[in-house]
Amino acid sequence: MAVKTLDDLLGEGVRGRRVLVRADLNVPLDGEKITDDGRVRAALPTIRSLTEAGARVVVAAHLGRPKGTPDPAFSLRPVAVRLGELLGSEVTLAGDVVGDQAKAAAESLGDGGVVLLENVRFDARETSKSEDERAELARELAALTGDDGAFVSDGFGVVHRKQASVYDVARVLPAYAGGLVLAELEVLRTLTGDPQRPYAVVLGGSKVSDKLAVIEALLPKVDRLLVGGGMCFTFLAAQGHGVGSSLLESDMVDTCKRLLAEAGDKLLLPADIVVADAFAADAAKRTVPVTGIEDGWMGLDIGPTTVAAFGAAVRDARTLFWNGPMGVFEMAPFAHGTRGVASAIAESEAFSVVGGGDSAAAVRLLGLPEDGFSHISTGGGASLEYLEGKELPGVAVLSEER
Question: Roughly what angle, to the nearest 10 degrees, separates helices 357-365 and 38-52?
Answer: 100
Q: Check if 364 is active-site.
A: no
Q: Is 356 annotated as a binding residue?
A: yes
Q: Check if 285 is active-site.
A: no
Separation of alpha carbons 186 and 204, rounded Å: 24
pLDDT at 213: 86
pLDDT at 98: 97
Q: Is 26 annotated as a binding residue?
A: yes
pTM as predicted: 0.88
Q: Check if 381 is active-site.
A: yes
Considering 357, 379, 380, 394, which one is annotated as catalytic?
Answer: 357
Separation of alpha carbons 28 and 331, rounded Å: 16
CB neighbours of 337 closer than 8 A, spacing ≥ 6?
A: 228, 274, 301, 302, 303, 306, 307, 325, 326, 327, 329
Q: What is the DSSP letter of 72?
A: G
Q: Is 251 annotated as a binding residue?
A: no
pLDDT at 359: 87
Strands 298-302 and 285-289: unpaired
Positions in the chain short of pLDDT 70: 1, 402
* Dihedral pair phi/psi, residue 203, rounded to 5°: -120, 135
Residue among 284, 213, 274 nearest 246 (CA): 274
| Domains of the chain listed by start with CATH number | 4-182 (3.40.50.1260), 192-386 (3.40.50.1260)
Considering 18, 39, 82, 134, which one is annotated as catalytic?
Answer: 39
pLDDT at 212: 85
Question: Is 331:281 a contact under the CB 8 Å cutoff?
Answer: yes
Q: Is 95 annotated as a binding residue?
A: no
Q: What angle do CA 398, 138, 396 make, to 5 degrees?
A: 20
pLDDT at 75: 97
Residue among 299, 342, 291, 349 nearest 319 (CA): 349
Q: Is 292 annotated as a binding residue?
A: no
Alpha-helical runs (H) found in 108-143: 131-143
Q: Is 359 annotated as a binding residue?
A: yes
Q: Is 62 annotated as a binding residue?
A: yes
Q: Is 160 annotated as a binding residue?
A: no
